[in-house]
A and B are shown apart, each in its own frame.
Chain A
């Protein structure tokens, strides 16, 4: 199965700053079948990005995804207070689908 490694484990930034989160796959993710989710305490995950770079319905354009093959990035251009949460990547190009271990984005 494909192992997804997210970095950093924790990212400390201030509102207004730019956040760059990485997701690296142990083998190539076919057709860029990679998604990103945001999860806040006590809530189900929320889909942000699918197909590596397509924003889900209702997601602000400060969130963007990029990458292909084994290296993917989620960028939040200007952090808002509500963006501080845990972020997960998921590959769904190979069975079984797998998630990364998460990156915690915390307020500095």
Chain B
């Protein structure tokens, strides 16, 4: 069974750093792209970027380029989304999801990680 299990909710202060994770199981982790999607409170879905764990090829939406870093450790089948300096506007639910190729849809989703940034 394919599963994407994300790390737990985080509460951080502005300026702090954060790295959240998404662990894949039940399939060949290095053969599928993993995408990250943001959902701010009460708002819609926003595509942030994707990574191919097989070779770490990474692509970002221009809206998120330079704001976050997407990475992966194929040895432990885990993808990451990280911030070096959080802002209150980063408060959101973040989902990872698996896509079949570099341009694709998302059938398998993680359960989401809620990130709250507040002083």
Q: Which residues of B contact A1 (CB under 8 A)?
A: 61-62
| Chain B interface, number of residues (Cβ within 8 angstroms) | 24
Contact of B105 among A35, A44, A96, A101 (CB under 8 A): A35
| B41: Cβ under 8 A from any A Cβ | no
Q: Is B59 within 8 A of A45, CB to CB?
A: no
Closest 3 CB pairs of A and B: A96-B61, A44-B109, A35-B105
Q: Which residues of A contact B110 (CB under 8 A)?
A: 44
Known: A44-B110, A45-B95, A97-B61. 10 other contacts (CB 8 A): A45-B45, A50-B104, A51-B105, A93-B103, A95-B59, A96-B62, A97-B47, A97-B103, A99-B37, A99-B46
Bound-state Cα–Cα, A44 to B4, Å: 12
| A56: Cβ under 8 A from any B Cβ | yes
Nearest opposing residue in chain A for B93, CB measure: A44
Q: Is B44 within 8 A of A98, CB to CB?
A: no
Bound-state Cα–Cα, A57 to B1, Å: 14
Report the minimal beta-carbon distance from A18 to chain B, rounded to whole angstroms.
24
